[in-house]
Each structure stands twice: as structure tokens, then as C-alpha cells.
Amino acid sequence: MVSITDIDIERHSYIEIRDRKDRQLVTMIEVLSPSNKRYGPNREQYIMKRSALTYSTTSIVEIDLLRGGPRLPFLDLPECDYCVTVFRKPKTPKAEAWPIGLRDELPVIPIPLKGDFPDASLDLKALLNRVYDAAGYEDYLYESPPEPPSSESDASWAASILAS
């Protein structure tokens, strides 16, 4: 008899906004995972999914709050620690982008809806604070150094925030 090794299961988080009448996908909100960013089959699969959605009637909101791994391909995106992009129909393949630095406050971002409905708003800072508190991250998140390592100035800045 043999046993298999431990298997890491990584969940991919996303939200679908659908039309109530015809169930048509209006907007996909995707929170990128490490496997979406690392070179390999999962990244390629995600890029293909994103490409297929850009040629559909669906808007896409992509939230990348991971400093590690290469950014997904964009033209003219400045250097940043985090990034949020909104691919809005019918403007795709153009996207609105929010490049975010480590010290920047997380923005309130628009969530495109169907037709003449005004955008919904998603307050990333409030959402992240709520998830952080509910998950109890303060108990173990800071037990090891960040990956990838922060610059000296960012590490000093973060240490001062944690000390307060």
C-alpha cells in the first residue's frame, strides 16, 4: 500500500454579477491568487479566461493585492506593488487601472453594471479591514517576514505602523 503526498488546494476567489432576468454574466470580479500570477498552466488558463471574457459582453474587475509574482500583461502600467483594473464594456481591451503602492490607501473602485445603471462602488480598504478582522490575521500574519521581502524603507515604515 502507498500514500500520496500532501496536496495543496488553492481556492480561486471571484464574484459574478448576473442580470436577474436572463442570468447573463454582467461583471466578473476576480481576486488574483498566487497561481494566477506564477508562470505556468494556471496563469495561462487565467489569461485565456480573461481574454475570452474581454470578447464577450462581460465587464471584468481584477484585484491584485499580491506583491509577489509577475504582473499580468498590461501596456503602460507603471511600477506598483498592487493593482486594480476594470475592463469596462464596450471599452475593452482598454482598461481603467489603479496602480497602488504599499503605502497608498486602497481605493474605492467602480463596479460596472448593465445598461444605464450607475456603477456600484467597492471600498477595498473597508473590505480588507473587515476580512482581516473576521479572519483573525493579527494573530499570525506577522510571524514571518513578508514575501517577497520589502525594501528597507518600506520595512521601517511597516514596523512603525505595527508598533502603533
As a whole number, the mean pLDDT across the chain is 87
CA separation for the pair 53, 70 (Å, rounded): 21
pLDDT digits (tens, 9 = 90+) for 25-49: 999 999 998 888 889 998 999 899 9
pLDDT digits (tens, 9 = 90+) for 82-101: 999 999 877 767 889 999 99
Number of alpha carbons in the 13 Å side-chain half-sphere of residue 42 = 12
pLDDT digits (tens, 9 = 90+) for 113-153: 998 899 999 999 999 999 888 888 777 777 778 888 888 99
Grid coordinates representing 89 are 464594456
